[in-house]
Amino acid sequence: MWLTATPHQLRFFGTIYWPCDGAGNNHRRGVQNLDGAPMDDTDTSSDGFYGRRLASHLGMEGDCVRKINRHGKLALAITRLTCTRFVRERTAAIPLEPAFSILHQLGDLDRHSCWLAGRQRYSGSFGAGTVSVIDLRDNPQCEFRGPFDALQYYIPRRALDDFAYENSAKPISTLKWTRDRRDPYLSTLSNILLNALEEESANNQLFVDQLGLSLLAHFAQTYGDLSSREGIQEGGLAPWQERRAKEIMRARLASGLTIADVAAECRLTPSHFARSFRRSTGIAPHEYLSRLRIDEAKRLMTTTKLPLADIALICGFGDQSYFTRVFSRSVGTSPGAWRRARSEG
């Protein structure tokens, strides 16, 4: 069964991943959850073991750099952890909770020892790019030696259950990964995330939706051995669904459109819609929306004298800087240069 794009297929990254604190509160006003609802500071899932709560427990510096919600509930939280102290004590046991913690090492670590339910399970060095997966129901304890730099991907079990159900797949019992193996897809994605945090850009909600679905797909398939139920095959969108999806994207270029919004119009779940749209059109929904925005920007640049900053807002790019980056990457030249070439011709 084909799922949403895995990280190596995501090549149009450019949106900002706004930081949130350990309670899951986003520091960007107006940012929405994956289903389009405003982020709720009272979300009960915000007590999960990530962000500042995780950093404090491990005696490190750290913040949640991105929190992704689906259907109003936490689906994935990403935390950057760093520490320059060489020696750190063995931590207290982490309280039991139904979630997984995936640590992706950004730099070499001299030693990582782990105890599950009071018994030591492994101890050894971890190179940059290696991954460790911990089931937080096992009351883990950790001890780290050497400088530390890593990303933690926190995934509630409920999010995996929902994802499997939406994909007509068998439930995922656990996530597994060989301790000393590198994950090139996750390394690529982690680098893109870190680069994106350093730049400002418009909030492209469809793109963020696709990112969240792709992360869950990668973890579910590669770590959870997600497989389809026998006899279930999935095609593309029905003609009326493809027509309606394209209509709503054309009509709402400048709005914070989400995959959930478009999927609801097609009477599909978000993940089912994302897969079916790609099967029908050959591209992801956020790529199609980006092309629509660029086409409309070209039309406005050739038929009006509107400033580029106004065109950026009208077409849904948010600001001129982000408009310039996306346009240049797609067309091969800046909007200003493209406009001048057309006017001179």
Average pLDDT over residues 109-133: 90
On whether both 174 and 250 belong to a single domain, the answer is: no
Residue 119 domain-assigned (yes or no)? yes
Residue 223 domain-assigned (yes or no)? no
Residue 211 domain-assigned (yes or no)? no
What is the spatial distance between Cα 47 and Cα 25, in angstroms, rounded to a whole number?
Answer: 11
Residue 190 domain boundaries: 7-204
* pTM for this model (two decimals): 0.65
On whether both 81 and 136 belong to a single domain, the answer is: yes
- Alpha-carbon distances of 111 from 79, 81, 131, 276, rounded to whole Å: 20, 16, 13, 44
The CATH number that applies at residue 175 is: 2.60.120.10
The CATH number that applies at residue 272 is: 1.10.10.60
On whether both 75 and 197 belong to a single domain, the answer is: yes
Domain boundary among 179, 204, 229: 204
Q: What confidence score (pLDDT) does residue 44 get? A: 37
On whether both 264 and 195 belong to a single domain, the answer is: no
Residue whose token pair is 């960007």: 28
pLDDT in tens, 180-238: 789 998 888 788 777 766 655 545 566 666 777 777 888 998 999 887 554 445 678 98
Domain boundary among 180, 204, 228: 204
Number of structural domains found in the chain = 2
Domain boundary among 155, 181, 204: 204
- Alpha-carbon distances of 8 from 101, 161, 218, 267, rounded to whole Å: 22, 24, 10, 29
